[in-house]
Amino acid sequence: MRKVFLVMLLTAMSNCAVAELVNVGSNENTSIYVDTDTIKRTGNTARMTHLTDFSTPNKDMGEYYKSTKDQNEYDCKESKWRRRAFSEYSKNMGAGKVVYSDSFTARWRPVPPESGIEILWKFACTKR
C-alpha cells in the first residue's frame, strides 16, 4: 500500500508544469532540476524534491531509466542530508513508466563539498 501511494504521489509530481523546475546544475552527462514548489522549511531543516536527467540510460533492477525524482531532507545548520524517497523513470524529465520507486528514511550524511548534493543543500537552505 505504501508503494502504491508513493507511485501515485510521484506520478502527480511528474504532472507539474515544467516552468516550476529550475536547472541548478549540469554537466555533459547529467542535469539537476529543483521543483521550487516542493521546498518546505521547518526550523533548521528543509525538504525538497529534485529531478535528475541523464543523457545516457542507467540500469537498475534489470530495467533502464533516464531520469529520477528524489525527495531529500537537508539539515541547514549541520550541513547534512538524507534521502526520503525516490523513483526512476524510463524517459527523460520524469516521463514514461516508473521503473522503480521506494520511500524510506536514510541516515544523515555530511554534504560532500563541490557536489550535486552541495548545490541542492544550498538551494534548499537559502532563504528566498
Q: How confident is the model at residue 128 (pLDDT cuts 50, 70, 90)?
A: low
Give strand ranges (E) for 5-124: 21-26, 30-35, 40-42, 45-60, 63-75, 80-89, 98-103, 109-110
Place of cell 554537466: 27
pLDDT tens sequence across 26-42: 999 999 999 999 999 99
Q: Which CATH superfamily is domain 2-125 in?
A: Surface-adhesin protein E (2.40.128.710)
DSSP characters over 81-111: EEEEEEEEESSGGG-S-EEEEEE--PPPEEP
Mean pLDDT confidence for 6-24? 57
Q: What is the pLDDT of residue 14?
A: 46
Q: In angstroms, rounded to a whole number, what is the distance separating the alpha carbons of residues 117 and 110? A: 10
Average pLDDT, the chain: 87
Q: In angstroms, rounded to a whole number, what is the distance separating the alpha carbons of residues 115 and 32? A: 11
Q: How far is CA 88 from CA 44, 70, 111, 128, in A?
A: 29, 9, 23, 29
Q: Where are the domains of the chain?
A: 2-125
Question: Nine-digit cell at 10?
Answer: 510521484
Question: Nine-digit cell at 53?
Answer: 536527467
Q: How confident is the model at residue 5 (pLDDT cuts 50, 70, 90)?
A: very low
